[in-house]
Amino acid sequence: MREFKKLTPYREALELMLNDLTEIPDVEEIPLEEALGRVLAEDVVSSIDSPPFDRSAVDGYALRAEDTFQAREYSPVELKVIDEIVAGEESKAKIEPGTAVKLMTGSKMPEGANAVLMQEMVEREGEIIRVLRPVAPGQNVAFAGEDVKKGQVVLKKGQVLRPQDLSLLKSIGFKTVKVKRKPRVGIIVTGDELIEKFDEEALRAGKILESNSIMLEGLVKQYFGEPVFYGVVPDDEETIKAAIEKAKAENDIVLVTGGSAFGDKDFAHRFVRLLFHGTTIKPGRPIGYGERVFIMSGYPVAVFVQFYLYVKHALAKLVGAKNYEIRVYAKLAERVSSQLGRHEFIKVWYENGVARPIKKKGSGIISSLVKSNGYIVIPEDSEGYLEGETVEVVLY
């Protein structure tokens, strides 16, 4: 089998791929309930203050703080309760010197009040409360606009919407939000040896159950896309060529697994004008890219690595996603080594600030992916990391 004459350095290949892609202009307006994980198409500006009024941050009594300045447990100050309200109600009473209004957390502050005394800090008898300690002006009050101010940019274009983002949008009156269209991602799996349904006899005869498609479909969904699976294509030149041309015409990008190396039946890379073919990553070295098509390995672990190191970033570029990776720092549980010239993907299990490398290796060992929840990379100019060294972990 012919080998690669030259391997493109990882960062150079990544830059070539990203420069070849442009952000999708298409925008959709969808209900908030459907927006989880979608990418904002524009900055979001609040049209209101939130909260819209001064409100109590605790259950207690709204009052004038200056009426409590002399209060002590051994010498309480007495005030008269002139009204009682619950959250969602508004008191019509005006706080005058020597008066208070009982209210609940979230209740609108009555006119004249500038503080709230927690109910645990008073003794009550009928309409009279005895204040046991002083409060300062503004104490236990959430002021209008304290969370969000009118005219404030609350979320920026490119934000990947999380549950808390949707909560914020709903709290300031949004029912819908404008997001980028999901990129369509064609998935083609090639290989005569692959079968799509369990067949014990076929497996004994040397066939393999195809599993790349379901993994790639899940990864594409996780990273902003809409997968379109074109099925398992046999190792036939014309059939593979036709499948790639069809997928290119119908999708924003195309992922082809199998056919990325130089075996007798590795046809896929022959039908795309590639910007690069063969990079320094390990595993997954034979990846190629051009014409919005990724020619990927056939082994699942290599495909997984190629997705995370290349395809994930391509999808983020297409939708303009920002801050789409979760990165943490961790102490390395044991030494990991690599050869100079490799950009090596090391699977780890991250927990409690410690990253433990997964010892199972091999591009076909899917269980090694299951046992990991993140990865570190050893760049081309490094021979590895020492036990106890601080490393950056990218979480799945």
Please give the domain boundaries of the chain with CATH numbers for all domains.
10-24+182-319 (3.40.980.10), 27-47+153-180 (3.90.105.10), 55-142 (2.170.190.11), 326-395 (2.40.340.10)
Nearest to 222 by CA among 365, 24, 39, 22: 39
The pLDDT-based confidence of 62 (bands split at 50, 70, 90) is very high
Q: Over 70: is that where the pLDDT of 52 sits?
A: yes
C-alpha to C-alpha distance for 327 and 208, rounded to whole angstroms = 35
Q: Which residues pair with 351 in a beta bridge?
A: 354
Q: 367 in helix, strand or coil?
A: helix
State the amino acid at position 303 in one-letter form: V
* 133 Cβ contact partners less than 8 Å away, ≥ 6 residues apart: 68, 71, 72, 73, 121
DSSP 208-270: EE--HHHHHHHHHHHTT-EEEEEEEE-S-HHHHHHHHHHHHHH-SEEEEES--S-STT--GGG
Q: Over 90: is that where the pLDDT of 382 sits?
A: yes
Token pair 């459907």 is at which residue? 34
* 163 Cβ contact partners less than 8 Å away, ≥ 6 residues apart: 36
Q: CA angle 236-241-244, nearest 5°?
A: 125
Q: Over 70: is that where the pLDDT of 129 sits?
A: yes
In percent, how much of the chain has pLDDT > 70?
98
b (16+ CB within 10 A) / e for 111-137? eebbbbbbeebbeeeeeebbbbebbee
Q: What is the pLDDT of residue 126?
A: 96
Preceding omega of 286 cis (within 30 degrees of 0): no
CA distances from residue 185 to 18, 65, 222, 250, 284 in whole angstroms, order as listed: 16, 62, 12, 9, 20
| Dihedral sign computed on CA atoms, order 94, 96, 100, 105 | positive
Ramachandran category for residue 88: left, alpha or beta (phi over 0 → left; psi -120 to 50 → alpha): left
Q: What is the pLDDT of residue 264?
A: 64
C-alpha to C-alpha distance for 128 and 246, rounded to whole angstroms = 81
pLDDT tens digits for range 168-207? 999 999 999 999 999 999 999 999 889 888 989 898 999 8
Rounded to the nearest 10 degrees, how much is the dihedral formed by the CA atoms of 317, 323, 324, 330? 130
Nearest to 122 by CA among 179, 80, 184: 80
Q: What is the pLDDT of residue 265?
A: 67
Q: Over 60: is that where the pLDDT of 2 sits?
A: no
Radius of gyration of the chain (CA): 31
CA distances from residue 247 to 159, 228, 297 in whole angstroms, order as listed: 29, 9, 18
CA distances from residue 228 to 24, 167, 317 in whole angstroms, order as listed: 18, 31, 19
pLDDT tens digits for range 252-304? 999 999 977 766 666 778 889 999 999 999 999 999 999 999 999 999 999 99
Q: 136 in helix, strand or coil?
A: coil
Q: Over 70: is that where the pLDDT of 160 sits?
A: yes
Q: CA angle 364-372-34, nearest 5°?
A: 105
Q: What is the pLDDT of residue 261?
A: 72
pLDDT tens digits for range 308-351? 999 999 999 999 999 999 999 999 999 999 999 999 999 999 99
Q: What is the pLDDT of residue 1?
A: 45
Q: Over 90: is that where the pLDDT of 39 sits?
A: yes
pLDDT mean across residues, the chain:
95
